[in-house]
Chain A
Amino acid sequence: MDAIISLKNINKSFKSRDHHLSVLADIDLAINNGEFFMFLGPSGSGKSTILRIMSGLEKDFKGKVELAPSIGWRDMSFVFQEFALLPWLTVAENIEIGLLARDINIAERHKIIKKELEIMGLEKFGHVYPRDLSGGMKQRTGIARALATNPRVIFMDEPFSELDSFTAEELRKKLLTIWQERKMTIVMVSHIVEEAVQLADRIAVLTPRPSKIEKVVTNNLSRPRQKRTPEFFNLEDELARIIKP
């Protein structure tokens, strides 16, 4: 498989006058085109920092992020842990924001917004402001916004951790369906072992302070994945053994 994003010797540290804290150390990794990649680790293991470096949000680091020649910033989008919806825009306007930067005409924009609203079950909420939505609805909007630009890569920073378990499970299934249909690359961050086993093709387990990739585990369980099977539990156990809190 060809790499869509490569990380070469990424190092990141925070410096203060009398303190030097290494956050990421010697991260080397290649994300393959079309795969569902997961960074798994406890809090403080630098998962989100890696994602922010890959997406270009974090610019202060050492090392190199290489993108495949066929992709640029227009082909990437981001789903945030705390939704990051713009509260003065309606659901539909939030979804539209990335389309405005891509010179898509108004008729086409409305068509795309309508489609994404339907896919995420938000068709009756296009005119609603984020403050009037539940957490689940907000994250549906966040995902719809990320999908609307038809990206080749979506970065997801613990997208379901703010949601109740029922909503989170429903959205995971929805995300898998969309990923299989659209064949984009997903790079997600999580601290939930079960979520990683359920969703990812490959899982990079991170150790904290400084964060290093302990091991990249390939998940060969066939899809759709059944949670209550010995293979599923075995992989969960294997990952749990690698994680050092």
Chain B
Amino acid sequence: MKKARSHLKIYRSRLHLAITIFFVVVPFAFLLIFAELTEVATGVLFSDLFVSFLRLLIAYFISVILAWILAVSFFQGKRSIVALPLFDVLQSFPTFATLPLAVYFWGVSNFTVVFFLVLTVIWPMLFSILSSLHLIKQGWQEAVEMSGISGAIYFKKFIFPVSVPGLITGSLIGLGEGWEALIATEIVVQEKLGLGNFFQTYASNPKITFLGILGFLILIFCINKLVWTPLLDWSHGKLED
């Protein structure tokens, strides 16, 4: 009981708790009502949503790890002189151009969708983390050098905290672009499960399509309000001394 209470302390007030519950309940309630209204099987809707969400989540985590490693490896020194212009060119490359090739190699599979999503999500992540790392002040760098920390402690206490604001901003932008790319990819490669399939199936029914888009927006809005806005607030000012 005591532990549960201490967990509840993360909510600053009852209103805060109520709003949080509201954001969790609304998307589910909407989906249930939607299924009822449009006579679409609730299970199908939930499983399409779940599969799409899972694909994006996997792609997101792969992108976070890759973008962070790339940013940390190339943000300074001689390597950055070569790498940063190269990243700039690569991110301008239209990723959809690789989609037919990906389908050719790996067929219509989860792997193809996730691969394509990684290509989309990684760039905003990478450039946001890089811009955070470029905020490192000479004084911080020298204080850390004099302290003598190295290896895992160096990353945990210095590099990671500096990259957190970029990680959060990059996640917001990357996931935004990721949702868009996800639906498009699922439609283009004609995956049998997922929101792309859902929208394609009901393309001739404007009511379902419209409600589907509305539900989709509610879900993204709630995720942003529940996860990203608090994280953005938390990270804001972390690097101000």
Binding site for B on A (CB under 8 A): 55-57, 73-74, 76-78, 80, 82-89, 93, 97-98, 100-102, 130-131, 138, 145
Q: Which of B145, B148, B240 has the most CB of A within 10 A?
A: B148
With A80-B139, A100-B153 known as contacts, the answer to whether A88 contacts B148 (CB < 8 A) is no
For A133, the closest partner residue in chain B by CB is: B241
B44 close to A (CB within 8 Å) = no
| A130 and B241 form a contact (CB under 8 A) | yes
Closest-CB distance, A164 to chain B (whole angstroms): 18
For B235, the closest partner residue in chain A by CB is: A88
| A84 and B148 form a contact (CB under 8 A) | no
Give bound CA distance, A131 to B237, whole Å: 9
Could you say which of B143, B150, B237 contacts A80, with CB atoms under 8 Å apart? B143
The residues of A that contact B161 with a CB separation of less than 8 Å are 86, 88-89
| B146 and A87 form a contact (CB under 8 A) | no
Chain B: residues with Cβ within 8 Å of the partner, total of 23
Give bound CA distance, A124 to B154, whole Å: 27
Give bound CA distance, A56 to B140, whole Å: 15
Count of A-B residue pairs with CB < 8 Å? 69
Main SS at interface, chain B: helix
The residues of B that contact A86 with a CB separation of less than 8 Å are 140, 143-144, 157-158, 161
B39 close to A (CB within 8 Å) = no
Give bound CA distance, A131 to B153, whole Å: 23
The residues of B that contact A101 with a CB separation of less than 8 Å are 147-150, 153
Closest-CB distance, A5 to chain B (whole angstroms): 15
The residues of A that contact B150 with a CB separation of less than 8 Å are 101
| A57 and B145 form a contact (CB under 8 A) | yes
Closest-CB distance, A148 to chain B (whole angstroms): 10
B239 close to A (CB within 8 Å) = yes
Closest-CB distance, A104 to chain B (whole angstroms): 12
| A76 and B241 form a contact (CB under 8 A) | no
For A146, the closest partner residue in chain B by CB is: B146
Closest-CB distance, B167 to chain A (whole angstroms): 13
Could you say which of B139, B142, B149, B164 contacts A97, with CB atoms under 8 Å apart? B149
| B147 and A97 form a contact (CB under 8 A) | yes
B16 close to A (CB within 8 Å) = no
With A88-B161, A89-B157, A100-B153 known as contacts, the answer to whether A83 contacts B241 (CB < 8 A) is yes
